[in-house]
Amino acid sequence: MYKCKFSKRINGEITVPGDKSITHRGIMLGSLAEGKTELKGFLNGADCMSTLSCFEKMGIEHKISGDIITVEGKGLHGLSSPSVTLDTGNSGTTTRLISGILSGQSFSSRLSGDASLNSRPMKRVIEPLSLMGANIVSENGNGCAPLLINPADLKPIHYNSPVASAQVKSAILLAGLYAEGETSVTEPVLSRDHTERMVNGFGGKVVSDNNTATITGLTKLYGQSITIPGDISSAAYFIAAGLLADNGELLINNVNINKTRAGILEVVRMMGGNVSFENKRTVSGEEVSDLLISPSSLKGVTVGKDLMPSLIDEIPVIAVMAAFAEGETVIKDASELRVKESDRIKTITKNLLTLGADIMETEDGMIIRGGKELHGGTIESFDDHRIAMAFSVAGLNIKETVEIDRPDCVNISYPDFYKTLEGLIR
């Protein structure tokens, strides 16, 4: 149980850990590239370690020294057959992206994760990969992991994805590396584009045109030195904490503000939050800025389809901000939240109700009437890192005791989260 601290003063300067999505992709593309890849500022969280250990089981060596991982790439066809099941832990990104890579290998593999992961939908990658000729099946026939992947010759496809999901898009593009010709994916709304950027950075070829990304297969990738920016999904908790405070000022260094990721900054602007951008720059092909956050009076907003993919992981903390904001916040077109590490529509609603908020669950989101005085209570994390972190921010703003049950799930994406948060309460 974690006992939340109460503080209306948030002050100081922090640097959040490296971006999770970029770390996963750096390990994967580094493994498939020729030669050494250096990832500086990688995320040392459990999800990324799952990716690293899967590639280790396929013969990829790595070295960790301080905040740098060095991966010894073996080329597109250099992976070796794993002698055990590849354990993808709690990580949807590992499972879905690696499925694309494994579909193009000349060996069989089996993927499985924890109970949460093994109940998340994998049909969304099984279907398009099968259209490419992949031999991939759900072991229990329920469209979930464990997945069994057998060797196959892949052919290029054009896929119209029914969901705006970077994991689906990336699985297809990575499989496209193993298909001769052009493989393309069109999404209903553009999702995070780190795979596209990074494949090009490694010497591959992806062309993006609005919501369509097209990869040319069988192009060699070459090892790179990459500096990974801070994860905006991790910065989001501190942005919220700084805005909800009554005094203090918070500088968050080195945050990735790639616009396919930075929807929370747009929402904060609409809510009336004070965030200023300092020292904007481009680092290893990604836009980065330091963010200066000061206390603000927030008002309710409507968040829907167009912004959703760019802030999908930030909905828990946006819901918390909405509970303290004046007026109504409507979150809609967010049914993807039901298939995250927990059913986040349910887990957010349940926990905000515990604290006395006025919130109503809808089929594809929630409606929050903010400004009600909240009280203490015990939050259930449901072992979902983003629920635990979002509700520690709620706890900062509630005088009575707020406790978080099973708080250690923050290790998935932010092992030092509580320590960093407590360092700002002075």
Chain contacts with ligand S3P (rule: CB under 6 A): 21, 24, 92-93, 165-167, 170, 191-192, 312-313, 336
- Count of CB atoms within 10 A of residue 422's CB? 12
CA distance 179 to 169: 15
47: left (phi over 0), alpha (psi -120 to 50) or beta: alpha
- Active-site residue numbers? 313
Q: How far is the CB of 32 from ligand S3P (least distance, A)?
A: 17
Question: Rounded to whole angstroms, how far apart are CA atoms 115 and 136?
Answer: 20
Nearer to ligand S3P, 191 or 234 (CB): 191
Among 400, 404, 416, 410, CA closest to 6 = 400
CB nearer ligand S3P, residue 4 or residue 117 = 117
Residue nearer to ligand S3P on the CB measure, 298 or 318: 318
Q: Is 114 helix (H, G, I), strand (E, B) or coil?
A: coil
Q: Which two tokens stand for residue 40?
A: 């500086």
- Cβ of residue 309: shortest distance to ligand S3P, in angstroms? 6
DSSP state of 29: H
In angstroms, give the least distance from the CB of 169 to ligand S3P: 7
Q: Which is nearer to ligand S3P, 57 or 261 (CB)?
A: 261
Tokens 């999770």 belong to 20
Read off φ and ψ for residue 100, nearest 5 degrees.
-65, -45
Using alpha carbons only, what angle is made at residue 157 by residues 27 and 212, rounded to the nearest 5 degrees?
70
Query: Using CA of residue 310, residue 313, residue 319, residue 324, what is the dihedral sign?
Result: negative
Distance CA 62, CA 78 (A): 15
Tell the smallest beta-carbon distance from residue 415 to ligand S3P (Å).
17
| Closer CB to ligand S3P, 48 or 244, in the complex | 48
Please state the closest distance from residue 291 (CB atom) to ligand S3P, in A.
Answer: 20
Q: How far is the CB of 386 from ligand S3P (least distance, A)?
A: 8
- Quote the tokens at residue 177: 């590396």
Cβ neighbors of 91 (< 8 A, separation 6 or more) are 24, 46, 47, 48, 50, 51, 113, 117, 412
Closest distance to ligand S3P from the beta carbon of 15 (Å)? 21
Q: Choose between 167 and 254: whose C-beta lies nearer to ligand S3P.
A: 167
A 10 A CB-CB count for 354 gives: 18
**72 CA to centre of own chain:** 25
Closer by beta carbon to ligand S3P, 228 or else 245: 228
| Cα-Cα-Cα-Cα dihedral sign, residues 190, 43, 92, 86 | positive
CB of 11 to ligand S3P, least distance (A): 30
Shorter beta-carbon distance to ligand S3P: residue 43 or 404 = 43
Q: Which residues contact 238 (CB under 8 A, 6 or more apart)?
A: 10, 14, 16, 250, 252, 293, 420, 421, 424
Q: Give the whole-angstrom CA distance, residue 262 versus residue 312.
A: 10
Phi-psi sector, 136: left (phi>0), alpha (psi -120 to 50), beta: beta
Nearer to ligand S3P, 48 or 320 (CB): 48
Closest approach of ligand S3P to the CB of residue 221, in Å = 19
Contacts of residue 303, Cβ cutoff 8 Å, sequence gap at least 6: 263, 267, 311, 315, 318, 329, 330, 331, 332, 334
